[in-house]
């Protein structure tokens, strides 16, 4: 574990190679799993506000779920998460012409229709942030559906924390990220010197 301010960072985040390989995984993280994507306290309201902008990109099934229970619900861990269709697909997903599952919120952002990119937990995935009393723990949520991303990351020599630079800065700030980079390169040097 590495500590920066009030965050404890798993070594996997600096040691594991990772680049999402959408051609292989087809965006399965938006579909697989038994809970929706965790939402921060203000994100539920933000999504409610931007809903009209993304409504036409959602499936009729997703629209029906949102009309019935809203954009999110409280899961069995007591966390507010995005609503799901049939307990699987996030309600904000759609499929592109190549059959890749994508996020309608991100699509609207990229088209300049809204200024909210997508929930930070999705942006940071496969890093998960767990809140504890006095600290936050950052872990790599290792899942077999992401295996192609580990292979692609290894080929390119890109570690997870570099692949997720943008969302890590969005969540923790530039100074925090710079410190992570420094600690990671010291860690790498130390490992090389031990070989």
Q: Give which of 93, 27, 86 is closest to 54, Cα–Cα.
A: 93
CB 120 within 8 A of CB 80: no
* Stretch of 5-13, 90-98, 143-151, 176-184 lying at the interface with ligand SF4 (CB under 6 A): 143-151
Q: Is 25 a residue that touches ligand SF4 (CB under 6 A)?
A: yes
Instruction: Report the distance separating Cα 124 and Cα 163, nearest Å.
Output: 10
Q: Which distant-in-sequence residues (6+ apart) come within 8 Å of 106 by Cβ?
A: 117, 118
Interface residue with ligand SF4 among 13, 14, 17, 29 (CB under 6 A) is 29
CB 22 within 8 A of CB 100: yes
Q: Is 27 a residue that touches ligand SF4 (CB under 6 A)?
A: yes
Q: Is 36 a residue that touches ligand SF4 (CB under 6 A)?
A: no
Q: Other CB atoms closer than 10 Å to residue 98's CB: what's the count?
A: 9
Q: Is 161 a residue that touches ligand SF4 (CB under 6 A)?
A: no
Residue closer to ligand SF4 by CB (options 165, 191) is: 165
* Interactions with ligand SF4, residue window 68-127 (CB under 6 A): 125-126
Interface residue with ligand SF4 among 17, 20, 85, 184 (CB under 6 A) is 20
Interface residue with ligand SF4 among 65, 146, 160, 180 (CB under 6 A) is 146
Angle at 186 between CA 183 and CA 188, to 5 degrees: 110
Q: Is 54 a residue that touches ligand SF4 (CB under 6 A)?
A: no
Instruction: Report the distance separating Cα 143 and Cα 25, nearest Å.
Output: 11
* Stretch of 1-9, 26-34, 42-50, 74-82 lying at the interface with ligand SF4 (CB under 6 A): 26-34
Instruction: Report the distance separating Cα 19 and Cα 12, nearest Å.
Output: 14
Q: What does the binding site for ligand SF4 look like in residue numbers (CB under 6 A)?
A: 20-22, 25, 27-29, 125-126, 145-146, 149
């Amino acid at each position: 574990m590495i500590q920066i301010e009030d965050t404890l960072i798993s070594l996997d985040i600096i040691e594991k190679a990772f680049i999402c390989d959408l051609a292989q995984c087809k965006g399965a993280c938006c579909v697989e799993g038994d809970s929706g994507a965790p939402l921060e306290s203000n994100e539920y309201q933000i999504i409610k506000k931007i809903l009209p902008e993304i409504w036409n990109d959602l499936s009729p099934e997703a629209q029906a779920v949102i009309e019935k229970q809203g954009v999110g619900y409280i899961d069995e861990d007591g966390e507010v998460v995005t609503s799901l269709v049939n307990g699987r697909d996030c309600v904000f997903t759609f499929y592109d012409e190549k059959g890749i599952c994508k996020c309608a919120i991100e699509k609207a952002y990229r088209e300049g229709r809204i200024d909210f990119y997508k929930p930070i937990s999705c942006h940071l995935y496969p890093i998960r942030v767990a809140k504890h009393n006095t600290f936050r723990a950052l872990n790599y949520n290792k899942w077999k559906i992401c295996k192609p991303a580990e292979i692609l990351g290894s080929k390119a020599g890109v570690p997870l924390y570099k692949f997720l630079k943008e969302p890590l800065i969005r969540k923790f700030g530039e100074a925090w990220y710079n410190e992570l980079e420094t600690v990671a390169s010291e860690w790498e040097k130390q490992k090389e010197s031990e070989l």
